[in-house]
Amino acid sequence: MIRSELGAAGIDDPRLREGYRRCRELNAAHGRTFFLATRLLAPDQRPAVHALYGFARYADDILDDLDPGLSTDIRGMRLQQLADKFFAGGDHLDDPVLAAVTHTARRYRIDTGLFDDFLASMRMDLTITNYPDRAALNLYMRGSAEAIGLQVLPVLGTVTPAEEAAPYAAALGRAFQLTNFLRDVDEDLLRGRVYLPADELAAHGVDRELLTWCHQNRRTDPRVRTALAAQHEITRETYRFADAGIAMLSPRSQPCVAAAATLYSEILDRIEQSDFAVFSRRATVGRARRLQVGGIGLIRSWRARNSSPGVSDPPGAA
């Protein structure tokens, strides 16, 4: 399968192919829902999306490595080394993941400022453990979520000017991350982080101390439940806005993005159905449902590629 994808994308250099293989492995291992959605893209699009995921995972692993011997200074140094290497230019054929993402960025003319924004948010994770308000959280998500959506947009292609689709692509990235923040409240606390606006929590009588109590007792206090429900509605509204942009994408890309949006938004359903029991269980979409959504998307993807192949392919794409 990977050989046919790389062949369709015109990636022949053995060293580059190894980089793309590594990125695909990272995606398959760590992003089940996202990886399933990529199967709905045309084969020539998949390697680029895997490369972008691989780079994000590369940086994320530096931050979230649980080795207690890794100080903040060491993590910061490694993150800076990654940034310096990426922005230094060259093909980076000595580093498989960097080789693939550099090739993708050049091929699809992805604005390098989006990678700078992403790395800036990763640096925030080194020292910032809570966000006082929505504006502060949005600043973080500009690099950690919106930039990812905008990086992927040139690979997906559009039927409108890209700048018209950009706000919706950014919003979908934000919706995915807000979903993760709700699902992973308990897990994030283990890393000493809270990705929910402190002032909005405080409006419901919630602070870090109460969240920690919930974590320790594996229970959701009623005040926390109310606060999480409010965050849940904000996330729902973000999906509603982002969904309007799917029709702006190239027809062959729409089934993939629609499936990803469906599956991620259904994580919100599971959270709500559990009565926000995020401290005692992790909300997931079952395998049968993932396969059902994926199967429907696969049929739609096949029809789109066969009825209008190559529509609105981005500049520079093979």
Number of other residues whose CB lies within 10 A of the CB of residue 316:
11
- Cα dihedral value 140, 141, 143, 146, nearest 10: -160
For all residues of the chain together, what is the average pLDDT?
91
Q: Is residue 180 part of a domain?
A: yes
Quick one: what percent of the chain has pLDDT higher than 70? 95
- Residues 147, 235 share a domain: yes
pLDDT level of residue 1 (50, 70, 90 thresholds): low
d(CA 46, CA 10): 12
Angle between helices 72-87 and 46-64 (to 10 degrees): 150
E runs forming strands in the chain: none
CATH number at residue 245: 1.10.600.10
Q: Is residue 314 part of a domain?
A: no
- Residues 136, 190 share a domain: yes
Per-residue exposure over 169-193, b if at least 16 CB sit within 10 Å of its own CB, e if not: bbbbbbbbbbbbbbbbbbebbeeeb
> What are the pLDDT digits (tens) for 223-246?
999 999 999 999 999 999 999 999
Domain of residue 182 covers 130-306
> What are the pLDDT digits (tens) for 2-42?
778 999 999 999 999 999 999 999 999 888 778 888 999 99
> What are the pLDDT digits (tens) for 34-65?
888 899 999 999 999 999 999 999 898 888 76
- Residues 36, 139 share a domain: no
Task: Answer yes or no: is pLDDT of 318 > 80.
Answer: no
| Amino acid 310: pLDDT | 43
- Residues 136, 47 share a domain: no
